[in-house]
Every structure is written in C-alpha cells, then in structure tokens.
Amino acid sequence: MGRKLLLEHINVPGINTYDVYRSKGGYASVEKALKTLTPDEVVEEVKKSGLRGRGGAGFPTGMKWSFLAKPEGVPRYLVCNADESEPGTFKDRYLMTYIPHLLIEGMIISSFALGAKTSYIYVRGEMMPQIRILEKAIAEAKAAGFLGKNILGSGYDLELYVQPGGGAYICGEETALLESLEGKRGNPRIKPPFPAIAGLYGCPTVVNNVESIAATVPIIRDGGEEYAKIGIGRSTGTKLISASGNLNKPGVYEIELGIPVEEFIYSDEYCGGIANGKRLKAVVAGGSSVPILPANLILKTAAGEGRVMSYEGLSEGGFATGTMMGSGGFIAFDEDQCIVRNTWNFTRFYHHESCGQCSPCREGTGWMEKVLHRLEHGHGKMSDMDLLVDVSKKIEGNTICPLGDAAAWPVASAIRHFRDEFEWHVTDAATAVTRNYGLAHYADPLVVASA
Amino acid sequence: MSVKVTIDGISIEVEPGTTILNAARKIGGDIVPPAMCYYSKLEGSGGKCRTCLVKVSKGSEKDPRPMPKLVASCRTTVMDGMEVQNITSPEVIEARKGVVEMLLINHPLDCPICDQAGECHLQDLGYEHGAAKTRYEFDRRTFERIDIGDKIQLHMNRCILCYRCVFTADQITEQRVHGVLNRGDHAEISTYIQKAVDNDFSGNVIDVCPVGALTDKTFRFKNRVWFTKPVEAHRDCDHEKCNGKVTLWYKGEDVIRVTARKDVYGEVEEFICNTCRFDKKKTSDWVIEGPRKVSHKSVISANHYETMKPLPVVKQNPLLQEANKEQFERETRL
C-alpha cells in the first residue's frame, strides 16, 4: 500500500468542511510555516523536497519560486492554475471538490513563501460547483483567521480570490491565464519576459498547478527531506493520476512515483486491469498531449526493462519509444479501440482550442483534423500519413506557446507507432468504417536488440 | 555601449535591446527575415506570424549555448556575441516554407481581383519563400465581407490575423472599436456593430494591413496598382496629429487614391488622417513634391514610367523634371 499524502483523509465524511479538516490535522502546516519558518526557509524546504510541477512540464517548483524577481515596492502574485482542461486529466477537480481546504492551506503556505499579499485561484469556467466549494472554503478559512490581515499574529496579510475562467483550454497556459485574469482575451504572451519577472499586471508572478500547491502542505508538515525520500531519483513524492479509459476501476489515484506501470494498470490497489477481460492495446500516459504508446512499449522500455511511473521512467527512450508524465492523465485503450479515431478526436480538440494567434497552430491544427477526419471516414490516401507527420513537424516548436507541440505530438506518435493501422484505413477503407483494426501486434513482446 | 551580433556571417554593432530583425534590417539585403505581423511603429506587434523565425546558433559571448528552438527574430533581443542563422540554415528555410504554406491554406488566393495585388506582402512572401503548389485539399474557411467603417471594407477571407490593425486602433486612434472575435482558424477581425469604426485615424488600418483584408472603399476596384503612378505630395493639414505627408496615386490626371508614405519594408513613415486619405482627391488640394521612387523589383514600377508624360503640375518644377528624366533614363537602360 503506497503512502497517501494528499488523499489520506479523502474518505473522511465532511472533510470538505473546515472543522473536520482541522480535526484531521489540517492547517498545521500553515501554523508551522508562519510561526516557525521564514519565507526563505519555506522555499528552501520545497527545494529540498524536489517537488516538480504537477501541471505537465515537470519543472522543479522550488527552483521556479527562487527565480521570482523581488523588486522593492512592487507587489508579487501567486496564481493557482486550476484551469484543468487536458482531455484525460481530472485530478485537480477531484482535489478541489473533495478536499478544498488542502488547496487553500497550500495557497497560504506558498503565498507566504513568495511574499504575495494577494493570490488568485483561476478555475476553469465549466467547474462552477468547484468554484462555489472553494469560495465556501475560503470563507471558512477566513472566519477561522487563516486569511485576511495579520494571520495567526505573524503580521502576514493574505487575500485569496477565486476567478472563474471562460472555459478555454488555452487559458491553462500560464501567460494566457494571466491575460485572461487581467480581463483580456486569453492569448499566450510572447516570452521573454517570463511571468517571474513580469506576470500579472506586469508584476512578478508565480503560476503553479493545484496539485503542486497542495503538495506543499505535506512538504512543510513532514519536511522537505522526508518528502524527497518518497519516489525514485529526481521524481520525488506522490502524484495524482487520473486513470480513465477501458479500466476496471478508473478514477483518481495517488501513487508513489516509481511504481511499475504494469502494477498501476493491473493491481487491484489501482486500476484493477482492463475492463471486460479485454487486452490492453495502447496508453496515453500523461493527458492527451503526450505521445501515445502501444501496450508493449508502455509496459516495458525499448531496452526490455519494466517501465515505471515517474518523470524519467515514462520519458525513457525519448520520443522514439517513450512518452511523458505530463499532467498524469492516464488513458488506457483496449483492443476494440481505434487509434485513428482517437487521434482524430484529440486533434479535433486542439483545432477547437487553438487561440488563433500564431499561424502554424491556427492553420495546422485544422488541417490535421481534416486529414484525420478523411482517414477515419474511409477517404484517406496513402500519402496522408507522411503529410500529417510533415504538418506536425512544421507546427512543433514553431509556435508561441506549447499548444502547438501538444497538438503535434499525439499525431506524430500515433503514426510512428500505429502506422499499419493508419494504412489499413486506406487499403481497407470499406472495412475500416465498419470495424476496428483490433489488437494486431501492438502487445507482442518487444524484440530487444542485444548489445 | 553597443553589442555585436552576427547574422549569416555578417557582423554588426547595434544598441542593446535591439531585436534580431532590426539588427538584420540595419545590415540589409537578403538576410533580412520577412515579417508579416511585426510593425516597427506599433508597440507590442510581432511574434505572431512566425515568418521571421531564425536559428540562434550561439546565445551570447557569456552563454554560448544555442537556443533550443527557432525564435521569432522580431521579438528576440540581441545579446553580445550572438550568432544568428537565417538564410544559411536549412532548418529555418524549411520552417519558413511551412509557415508560408500555413498562411496560404485558408487564404482565397483571389489576387486577380484583389486591390492589394502588386503591393501585397503575402504575395511577395509566397513568391520568395513558399512552395509552388499547395498540399491542402479542403474547403477554405470563408466569411462575409463587412464594412467596418463607412470608408473601410473588411474581407476577412484574406486576413492572416497579424493583429496590426488592432494595435493601430489601440495606439494611433483614440478608441479601438474592432478586435479579434472567436478563436483558432475561425478567429476573425470584426466589430460588434457594423460601420462602427469612425475615428479620424481609422484609415491607417488599411495601410498597415499586409494583405487585402482591409480595403479603401474610395479606391476599391478603381484600378490595378501597377497602372497608377505614385507621386509624393503634402498639404497643410489642420489635424494636430497629421502632418499631411502622403503618396498620391494618379491614374491619368486623377488622384484615385491617397496613402501614407511607406518605407522599404512597407511600413508607413507617418500616419495620416482620414481627411487627407479619403476626402482630398484633387490635385489642387496638394503641393506636389515629385514622383515616388519605387523599387525596380516592384510591379508598380514595371510598366508606366517610360510612357508616362509628366503631369502638368509636375512640369513647372525643374527639380521634378530632372528627377523624371533620371528615372526615364534608368528605366530605358534596363
């Protein structure tokens, strides 16, 4: 049984209320931080913990905090990115719904560490219930003296606000989020300057994911070194994984980083295997934007070793045979799923969500979607696969924000690993619209090249 | 204090804070990256079209690591000792070709009926950096034509969403009443209320538009630009922000269009007011300075200077006659 740091008390009835949360040791970390530590010591603890950003990029949180510019007389802001909209990722929503005080507590600690007097939680517009839950939690925390002026007599003031977004995926990109928070159109900014120098209203700003901020609570409670003992290598601590797809027990799981992928899929503690006794065909391991892998490559690396759930473990082999941890949206596909249809579906999403600011992404996502639509509906050509790879290459890395990469990777990887399924959609177009390709060889043991 | 930057092997000293694009423009010639959205007179413009992407093969003298991705030269400032590859990098050429293809897939390519043809940046870009054929086989997105002001028509089909007109309205006019609606490839420049754009300086959006998306309704379909003759002129404009320096576009003896004067990169030198642009279309309204120098590469210079008789107004000025003669000799020599 893995350790639970975030979801330890998730099943306690009434944990979403202040009283129950407090009785389970809640807000102890705030007391510890404000009463016994200086802001710099809090940053140091987070650095020691090795916590890496849980929103997708995996950048060390402590390092990000230490980059924050601290000019005199200029306010600093902490913004919590709760605009979780990646297809396949729903961990932040779960956290905010069931244990909102964990986020509030994390926000107080993080704001204290950064010296922010005003902090925002930017919540995706569709999550109206969660916005209400958070506002209620903030009111409770304020009534208990954990927000407002002179918190716990430490002389530190903090106001926390919840801001609903308009429901755009692009507003999960940190600079687009800041634009949206300022009341403008959610277009990503051109970097540099980075938000740590000029963010919200031109002031130094840190933008962190919900889970990263929540993770500061156990880090301060137990100490950074203790937190760093969990996990494997540079992937420390626990991570929430949103498991979905053809699994027996889909849901949000807290894992200790470093458990084998096989254990995560098949053990009863986690997903409990593939639903209806089917076989696993493919996995998208970190939310829709990361490369898709066939069953044989997700369970074992190209070198034949068991793949583990960690930042390094999942990216083992680079993009040729690996994928990414991303935001932890683990989507499993069984043998009845069509990869072409799925790729088209993802691309449809990115086409819909592209902000339209820079040309490769604006035009390229629509183009890829049209080609994939044609392939899926039996009108494809053999040259379409090369065209798709080429278009995805023209988008990747040439855009203002990572949405271009996020749109390009699933397409490029699906063709890289499932090319014969794509080709079958062209050669057997009439059959392809009536049935799926099936498992084929995608779960066959890998041929490991011996040295 | 100046910093040294090397672009395609050519070094130049520039002021700190200069962008790569502007450093390249100081060098001039082939190595200047094309720019569709950047506009030196508009703060905050650039970074969107991605045609000016370049490779930074050496970050700076202090930190010589190359930049991991291609960067938009219009928004990246130079560092001391930076080395940049533009036309010497196959990666850049390939990426640029991709961007041009992307810009054209939803462009109607209606150049034969477009007023901008002949002075269109997208035409030049496609000609210089694009592929001969498109690989796009689907319907292009379409929009209705709308009048965004009483003298300005918007053909959204042609728009490449460079945002220049948005920045112009923000920075040159008193209030912006148009902007970008929707997102992705359905993003469009529009106003909520038709004909809402009525500011004194609104006509400048026509000049900054790199394509034929914003057109002058007083000039639409009047003539092909290469059949007109550009003449520089000025008038004593009573608008406090306008100094009345313009280019008049003659067809025979009629002024059929008035625009601001544009430099070699197609950027206006000074913004002009709507009165000068739309209302003063008689030669007697203007003090003629002389024929405008047009690049030999431009189609505008292609077919009229040899046969063009100097206009009566021009004739009286000996300086201009000299200039015309010079032009005539150069044209006939070629």
Q: Give the chain B residue whose CA is nearest to the CA of A384.
A: B135
- A13 to chain B, closest Cα gap in Å: 43
Question: Quick one: pLDDT at residue B316?
Answer: 61
In a domain, B98, yes or no: no
Q: Across the interface, which of B95, B160, B186 has its CB nearest the CB of A394?
A: B95
| C-beta of residue A315 within 8 angstroms of C-beta of residue A435 | no
- A394 to chain B, closest Cα gap in Å: 6
Q: Which of A287, A313, A334 is the last residue of a domain?
A: A334
How do residues A367-396 score in pLDDT, each as one tens digit?
999 999 999 999 999 999 999 999 999 999
Q: Are residues A203 and A286 in the same domain?
A: no
**Binning pLDDT at 50, 70 and 90, where does residue A191 land?**
confident
Q: Are residues B204 and B278 in the same domain?
A: no
Number of domains present in the structure of chain A: 3
Is residue B313 predicted with pLDDT exceeding 60? no
In a domain, A423, yes or no: yes
CB contacts of A190 in chain B (<8 Å) are 46-47, 72, 75
In a domain, B101, yes or no: no
How do residues A241-298 score in pLDDT, each as one tens digit?
999 999 999 999 999 999 999 999 999 999 999 999 999 999 999 999 999 999 999 9
In a domain, B166, yes or no: yes
Question: Quick one: pLDDT at residue A451?
Answer: 52
Give the sign of the dihedral formed by CA A292, CA A295, CA A299, CA A301: negative
How do residues A417-440 score in pLDDT, each as one tens digit?
999 999 999 999 999 989 999 998
Q: Which of A304, A334, A364 is the last residue of a domain?
A: A334
Q: Is the ipTM of this complex over 0.85?
A: yes
In a domain, A5, yes or no: no
Q: Are residues B25 and B121 in the same domain?
A: no
Taking residues A43-49, report their average pLDDT.
96
- Report chain B's mean pLDDT, rounded to a whole number: 89
Q: Are residues A39 and A163 in the same domain?
A: yes
Q: Are residues B85 and B30 in the same domain?
A: yes
- Report chain A's mean pLDDT, rounded to a whole number: 94
Q: Are residues A311 and A346 in the same domain?
A: no
Q: Cβ of B184 and A354 within 8 Å?
A: yes
Domain containing A420 equals 339-432
Burial of A278 (0-12, 13-18, 19+ CB in 10 A): middle
In a domain, A4, yes or no: no
In a domain, A27, yes or no: yes
In a domain, A250, yes or no: yes
Q: Across the interface, which of B95, B179, B183 has its CB nearest the CB of A355?
A: B183
CATH number at residue A113: 3.40.50.11540
How do residues A200-255 score in pLDDT, each as one tens digit?
999 999 999 999 999 999 999 999 999 999 999 999 999 999 999 999 999 999 99
Q: Are residues A311 and A392 in the same domain?
A: no
Question: Quick one: pLDDT at residue B305?
Answer: 52
In a domain, B99, yes or no: no
Q: Are residues B210 and B230 in the same domain?
A: no
The structure tokens listed for B291 are: 């024929």
Domain containing B197 equals 106-132+140-216
How do residues B175-207 score in pLDDT, each as one tens digit?
899 999 999 989 999 988 877 888 889 999 999
Percent of chain B with pLDDT over 70: 92
How do residues B225-283 score in pLDDT, each as one tens digit?
988 889 999 999 999 889 999 999 998 889 999 999 999 899 999 999 999 999 999 99
Q: Cβ of A362 and B102 within 8 Å?
A: yes
Question: Quick one: pLDDT at residue B306?
Answer: 46
How do residues A82-107 score in pLDDT, each as one tens digit?
999 999 999 999 999 999 999 999 99
CATH number at residue A254: 3.10.20.600
CB contacts of B184 in chain A (<8 Å) are 351-356, 362, 365-366
CB contacts of A393 in chain B (<8 Å) are 98
Give the CB-side neighbour count of residue B222, counting CA atoms within 13 A.
17
Q: Are residues A148 and A291 in the same domain?
A: no
In a domain, A438, yes or no: no
Q: Say whether residue B170 is in contact with chain A using an 8 A CB cutoff.
A: no
The structure tokens listed for A280 are: 């696993």
d(CA A78, CA A120): 7
Taking residues A187-203, report their average pLDDT.
93
Is residue B120 predicted with pLDDT exceeding 50? yes
CB contacts of A391 in chain B (<8 Å) are 98
Q: Scan residues 99-138 of B and list those with Cβ closer than 8 Å to A.
A: 99, 101-103, 105-106, 135-136, 138
Question: Quick one: pLDDT at residue A370?
Answer: 96
Residues 6+ apart with CB under 8 A from B237: B243, B244, B272, B273, B275, B276
**Binning pLDDT at 50, 70 and 90, where does residue B303 land?**
low
In a domain, B290, yes or no: yes
Number of domains present in the structure of chain B: 3
Residue matched to tokens 């909520």 = B192
Question: Quick one: pLDDT at residue B201?
Answer: 92
Q: Which of B216, B248, B266 is the last residue of a domain?
A: B216
Q: Cβ of B185 and A366 within 8 Å?
A: yes
Q: Across the interface, which of A356, A360, A397 has its CB nearest the CB of B187?
A: A356
Question: Quick one: pLDDT at residue A192?
Answer: 87
Q: Across the interface, which of B136, B161, B163 has its CB nearest the CB of A362?
A: B161
Q: Cβ of B185 and A365 within 8 Å?
A: yes
Q: Are residues A70 and A155 in the same domain?
A: yes
Q: Say whether residue B166 is in contact with chain A using an 8 A CB cutoff.
A: no
Q: Are residues A206 and A238 in the same domain?
A: no
Q: Which of A229, A256, A290 is the last residue of a domain?
A: A229
CA torsion angle B134 B135 B141 B146 (round to 10): -10
According to DSSP, residue A30 is labeled: H
Question: Quick one: pLDDT at residue A307?
Answer: 94
How do residues A130-176 score in pLDDT, each as one tens digit?
999 999 999 999 999 999 999 999 999 999 999 999 889 999 999 99
**Binning pLDDT at 50, 70 and 90, where does residue B301 land?**
confident
Question: Quick one: pLDDT at residue B307?
Answer: 46
How many cross-chain Cβ pairs, A to B, lie less than 8 Å apart? 92
Residues 6+ apart with CB under 8 A from A174: A79, A81, A195, A207
Burial of A203 (0-12, 13-18, 19+ CB in 10 A): middle
Residue B130 region by backbone torsions, left for phi larger than 0, else alpha for psi between -120 and 50, else beta:
beta
Question: Quick one: pLDDT at residue A335?
Answer: 94
Q: Please report the DSSP string for B163-175 in residue order.
A: -HHHHHHHHTSS-
Is residue A446 predicted with pLDDT exceeding 90? no
d(CA A413, CA B294): 50
CATH number at residue B27: 3.10.20.740
SS3 A429: helix
In a domain, A446, yes or no: no
Q: Are residues A33 and A157 in the same domain?
A: yes
Question: Quick one: pLDDT at residue B331?
Answer: 63
Q: Are residues A216 and A239 in the same domain?
A: no
Q: Are residues A216 and A245 in the same domain?
A: no
In a domain, B100, yes or no: no
In a domain, A209, yes or no: yes
Amino acid identity for residue B148 in this structure: I
CATH number at residue A419: 1.20.1440.230
Q: Are residues A217 and A253 in the same domain?
A: no
Q: Are residues B277 and B295 in the same domain?
A: yes
Q: Please report the DSSP string for A144-208 in residue order.
A: TTSSBSSGGGSS--BEEEEEE--S-GGGGSHHHHHHHHTTS--PPPPSSSPTTTS-GGGS-EEEE
Q: Are residues A84 and A201 in the same domain?
A: yes
Q: Are residues B148 and B169 in the same domain?
A: yes
Q: Across the interface, which of A365, A367, A398 has its CB nearest the CB of B70?
A: A398
**Binning pLDDT at 50, 70 and 90, where does residue B332 land?**
low
